[in-house]
Structure 1
Amino acid sequence: MRTRLALTASAVFTLLLSFIVAVHPANAEAGFQIQDGRLVDANGNDFVMRGVNHPHAWYAGETESFAEIGSLGANAVRVVLSNGVRWTRNDAADVADVISECKANKLVCVLEVHDTTGYGEESAASSLDQAVDYWIDIQSALEGQEAYTILNIGNEPYGNQGYEPWASDTSDAVNRLRDAGFDHTIMVDAPNWGQDWTHTMRDNAAQVFESDPHRNVLFDIHMYGVYEQASTIQDYLGHFVDSGLPIVVGEFGHDHSDGNPDEDAILATAEQHGLGYLGWSYSGNGGGVEYLDLTNDFDPNSLTSWGERLFNGENGIVATAETASVYGPTGPDPDPTPDPTPTGEPTPDPGDGCTAEYTVQNEWSDGFVAGVDVTAQEDLQGWEVSWSYEDGQTVSSAWNAEVSADGSQVTASNVSYNGTLSSGQTASFGLQGTHDGTNSAPELTCSAG
């Protein structure tokens, strides 16, 4: 979207990456995929985005907003980031913290570089190539997060001038990311300030999709003044559905300076076809478009009329959002109150080359989230941790480790990126499980793999 936010922001937090945050899937390495024109999660289940945009690049101190967005019913959040071309750069540690906030609040995290907005017409804009450079530079923050994050290369990468190379430039950007080792679902924005009134994305989407060796591209249309008529909305989204191509409405509003979009038709058409949508935006708009704030001054208890419509109205977020299955059962846990004091932290058992410590991080009536820290006592090329549950617990999903179970006996081994440890170095992994009321922490045995 054009000229919608104030360009000043709080100082960017540079928090260290925490490998264990929240709830995760059994097949994290698979990540999101496109199957038969649909976005599916790592468990192979349809995932339909129902969420909002968060202006993190300009308001990096508003990290509590992630919990608030989750509490309002959203299942996804599209996060504004900067590669440093136009605004303050969000570094890898900050992006890792954003991902951890998303995961802690059961939100699928759509990460986008906003500096590309209006390239070709906006002289200060970043190119897609520069956006790809940024993603490669912060790749460490996204490794292993394919099941919880979607990589949106660049916001509205062309304005209304110079947009003709959109297809070739987008394909090149996708392939550069694949060559660099990114396995994520990659989301690509339309030109024409995201609104594709020239149908450049629509007419070239199949070509771009086929150019990706993973066939894992999701198309993103932004609906503002171009989409005043229900018929225009239905025709555009219907074209992708009929063509078997995946699409999401990554931004839209109830009003705009270039026209009055039909938000009711956007919501109804998205629900009709089972397509995702992400409203613009949680709070902090400036430049004359403050009316697009969903909350007043980042206060979840003070929704604007637009916020009431999007969250609580017909076909809105509360009525239609379903939590991604990688976060456990559909819908929020019944009062998943975090345990204020981690239960059961047995003394690490010195093993063969490493020790492992188990901590229950979150527990509710029939489930829990636990984290395990593996610390090398000597240089390791791999590790394995085993334990036996005494209270009948079962593991339903895990992340940052390969976990298998045989009855009460559980074995976890490193994945490709965290097996090599120097003496004294620690790797972490996590798991989600179920219990029948008792959930004592097991004793672990750690050995070199």
Structure 2
Amino acid sequence: MRRRLGAACALALLLSVFVIADPAKAATGIRISNGRLVEANGTELVLRGINHAHVWYQQQTSSFANIKATGANSVRVVLGSGQRGWGTSPASDVANVVALCKQNKLICVLEVHDTTGYGEQSGAATLAQAVDYWVSVQSALTGQENYVILNIGNEPFGNQGYAAWTTDTANAIRRLRTAGFQHTIMVDAPNWGQDWTFTMRDNAPTVKAADTTGNTIFSIHMYGVFDTAAEVQAYLSSFTSRGLPIVVGEFGDNHSDGNPDEDAIMAYAQANRIGYMGWSWSGNGGGVEYLDMVQNFNPASRSAWGNRFISGANGIAATSRQATIYGGTEPDYDGPTTPGTPTASNLTSTGVNLAWAASTDNVGVTGYTVVRVQGSTETTVASTTTNSAVLTGLTPSTAYTFAVRARDAAGYVSARSGTVSVTTPAGGGNGDNGCTATYRIANSWNSNFNGEVIVTNGATASTGWTVTWTYANGQAITQIWNGQRTTSGANVTVRNVNYNGNLAPNGTAMFGFLATWNNTTNSVPTLTCTRT
């Protein structure tokens, strides 16, 4: 069984069996400005859309109007480039799809689906082949930059060969620009779209630099990998904190690889003006039929997922705004004013009191979120309705950096305040010799599992680290990344590699691994972390 198989892929596999057996230089069109997707007139465009499996259900053209009727402002449309059994979407079909989008006042996100799971899925197309396809239908897209976003290829790598994602994606962008495409380009993450190896996250600046126009937006697909609010927030904030545009191109409320936290995805996206597009309107198979928002393409027969996505909290009915190119009004995305920099008092070995100057907003400030700042990552540590917070549960002899964000009655979040740094006094140590290591089982299937370990440095800089543990249930590591492993039976030792050993005070590093287990017990071992 494949790990982290995207919902789009599950549908694609079933149907293939059935069929076979910052500054933007381009001034016109949708573009990126200051890390945000905007229209040609500069109005911010927050995608609120639904995926539609057009290439497999070409007769379902009424779906465009029905998707619009939900309140969606966009639709992500599945096309075929000819490498898989569902055939090729010719230029005439692409032109018709664009016309249907425009007729129904939807921003059109077009994606090539044949790339799904390349390197792991037999017959999958390369990104280079996807570019060949886009060039072949360019006549249907030229002049549509105000209405169309070009999503090069869906989930372009599986869990094998994904190290090539950065180079292949950058080259694909360069070729499209050389060919004359001026559209905003959307690029999907590898690992079946879920980027559990953080390949897209860590190499996004390199890919962004490959686009001479600066108009590339990154797309993450959120299924079982993103089953907690902390994971959702950490991943999305790693982009927004660096000024990198990000959209959730697919997600659902359930999946075969785990239970995604759709509430956190939608709430965090709404609060931080991040686009999202749910999978999918109708026609799913292969065991993921529960991801149909409506039954048999009938808009009057919504599923539980459809009701949640369309009408639930932070759903598209309440949060979607029609693009101004279609006559929509410019939304108020200002959010609250930035809170004052917090001040610290009553510092103990396990806690501290914070207070800050309050924010203001035309629709009212409803609360604040206190975050711990670690490099480009924010972790929520407290929420409060007042401009102060009492933090508890801190670790003695540990350096912390805190900041605050405000939220308003519309659900929008302010810019981050200035930071305050404190070091808790002694009262215990920060792990063995100044670092800690946290072990997590990210996913398991059959007799295999995927694990992650996060190393957190202490209060002074380090030049290297070592993590050791002993397995109690016969587990055995078969592959590792971002670390050097030595193993003697059940005893495991992992050391840093040359690029992640130098850690700043309170800095972090992560390594991951694949391992086998007995399908009965997979207990979490006790880790020891040492540093140099």
**TM norm. shorter chain > 0.5:** yes
Return the TM-score normalized by structure 1: 0.69
Establish whether residue 3 from structure 1 lines up as the match of residue 2 from structure 2: no
8 Å CA contact 2:321, 2:328 repeated in 1: no
Establish whether residue 41 from structure 1 lines up as the match of residue 39 from structure 2: yes
Trace 1:227-306 onto structure 2 (pairs within 5 A).
Answer: 227-306=226-305
Q: Distance in 1 between matches of 2:179 and 2:255?
A: 38
CA drift of 1:4 comes to: 2.5
Q: Distance in 2 between matches of 1:133 and 1:283?
A: 29
**1:39-62, Cα deviation, whole Å (9 max, x unpaired):** 001111000000100000100100
8 Å CA contact 2:53, 2:77 repeated in 1: yes
- In structure 1, what is the equivalent of residue 448 of structure 2? none
From the superposition, tell whether residues 39 and 135 of structure 1 become closer, same or farther in structure 2 (CA, over 3 Å). Answer: same
**1:70-104, Cα deviation, whole Å (9 max, x unpaired):** 01110000000000110211100001000000001
From the superposition, tell whether residues 64 and 230 of structure 1 become closer, same or farther in structure 2 (CA, over 3 Å). Answer: same
- In structure 2, what is the equivalent of residue 67 of structure 1? 65
Structure 2 SS opposite 1:165: helix
Q: Distance in 1 between matches of 2:235 and 2:326?
A: 32
- In structure 2, what is the equivalent of residue 164 of structure 1? 163
CA drift of 1:10 comes to: 12
From the superposition, tell whether residues 9 and 65 of structure 1 become closer, same or farther in structure 2 (CA, over 3 Å). Answer: farther
Structure 2 SS opposite 1:48: coil
**Aligned AA (2:125):** S
Trace 1:44-59 onto structure 2 (pairs within 5 A).
Answer: 44-59=42-57
- In structure 1, what is the equivalent of residue 89 of structure 2? 90
Structure 2 SS opposite 1:238: helix
From the superposition, tell whether residues 243 and 177 of structure 1 become closer, same or farther in structure 2 (CA, over 3 Å). Answer: same
**Aligned AA (2:151):** N
Structure 2 SS opposite 1:274: coil
Structure 1 SS opposite 2:134: helix
CA drift of 1:211 comes to: 1.5
Compare CA radii of gyration and give the structure with the larger one.
2
Establish whether residue 144 from structure 1 lines up as the match of residue 143 from structure 2: yes
Q: Distance in 2 between matches of 1:186 and 1:51?
A: 17
- In structure 1, what is the equivalent of residue 178 of structure 2? 179
Structure 1 SS opposite 2:299: strand
- In structure 2, what is the equivalent of residue 374 of structure 1? none
**1:139-187, Cα deviation, whole Å (9 max, x unpaired):** 0000100000000000000000000011111000000000000000000
8 Å CA contact 2:208, 2:216 repeated in 1: yes
Establish whether residue 127 from structure 1 lines up as the match of residue 135 from structure 2: no
Q: Distance in 2 between matches of 1:192 and 1:9?
A: 22
Task: Flag the structure with more relative contact order, 1 or 2, with Cα contacts below 8 A and sequence separation at least 6.
Answer: 1
Trace 1:320-331 onto structure 2 (pairs within 5 A).
Answer: 320-330=319-329
Q: Distance in 2 between matches of 1:104 and 1:260?
A: 36
CA drift of 1:9 comes to: 11
Q: Which runs of 5+ in 1 are unaligned?
A: 12-27, 332-449
From the superposition, tell whether residues 9 and 308 of structure 1 become closer, same or farther in structure 2 (CA, over 3 Å). Answer: farther
From the superposition, tell whether residues 174 and 63 of structure 1 become closer, same or farther in structure 2 (CA, over 3 Å). Answer: same
CA drift of 1:210 comes to: 1.2
Q: Distance in 1 between matches of 2:250 and 2:198?
A: 17
**1:362-405, Cα deviation, whole Å (9 max, x unpaired):** xxxxxxxxxxxxxxxxxxxxxxxxxxxxxxxxxxxxxxxxxxxx
From the superposition, tell whether residues 106 and 29 of structure 1 become closer, same or farther in structure 2 (CA, over 3 Å). Answer: farther
8 Å CA contact 1:9, 1:60 repeated in 2: no
**Aligned AA (1:41):** E
**Aligned AA (2:228):** Q
- Aligned with residue 32 of structure 1, among 26, 30, 33: 30
Return the TM-score normalized by structure 2: 0.58
Trace 1:369-388 onto structure 2 (pairs within 5 A).
Answer: none
Q: Distance in 2 between matches of 1:256 and 1:97?
A: 32
8 Å CA contact 2:50, 2:74 repeated in 1: yes
Q: Distance in 1 between matches of 2:215 and 2:100?
A: 25
Q: Distance in 1 between matches of 2:116 and 2:57?
A: 18
Q: Distance in 2 between matches of 1:316 and 1:72?
A: 10
From the superposition, tell whether residues 242 and 309 of structure 1 become closer, same or farther in structure 2 (CA, over 3 Å). Answer: same
8 Å CA contact 1:96, 1:141 repeated in 2: yes
**1:415-442, Cα deviation, whole Å (9 max, x unpaired):** xxxxxxxxxxxxxxxxxxxxxxxxxxxx
From the superposition, tell whether residues 139 and 9 of structure 1 become closer, same or farther in structure 2 (CA, over 3 Å). Answer: farther
CA drift of 1:29 comes to: 7.1
Q: Distance in 1 between matches of 2:181 and 2:308?
A: 37
- Pairwise CA RMSD: 1.7
- Please identify runs of 4+ aligned residues in structure 1 that moved more than 2 A: 8-11
Q: Distance in 1 between matches of 2:163 and 2:16?
A: 32
- In structure 1, what is the equivalent of residue 113 of structure 2? 114
Q: Distance in 1 between matches of 2:128 and 2:98?
A: 23
Structure 2 SS opposite 1:39: strand
CA drift of 1:259 comes to: 0.2
Trace 1:293-372 onto structure 2 (pairs within 5 A).
Answer: 293-330=292-329
From the superposition, tell whether residues 223 and 195 of structure 1 become closer, same or farther in structure 2 (CA, over 3 Å). Answer: same
**1:344-365, Cα deviation, whole Å (9 max, x unpaired):** xxxxxxxxxxxxxxxxxxxxxx
Give percent identity, aligned residues only: 60
Q: Distance in 1 between matches of 2:17 and 2:270?
A: 35
Q: Distance in 1 between matches of 2:251 and 2:208?
A: 24
CA drift of 1:272 comes to: 1.1
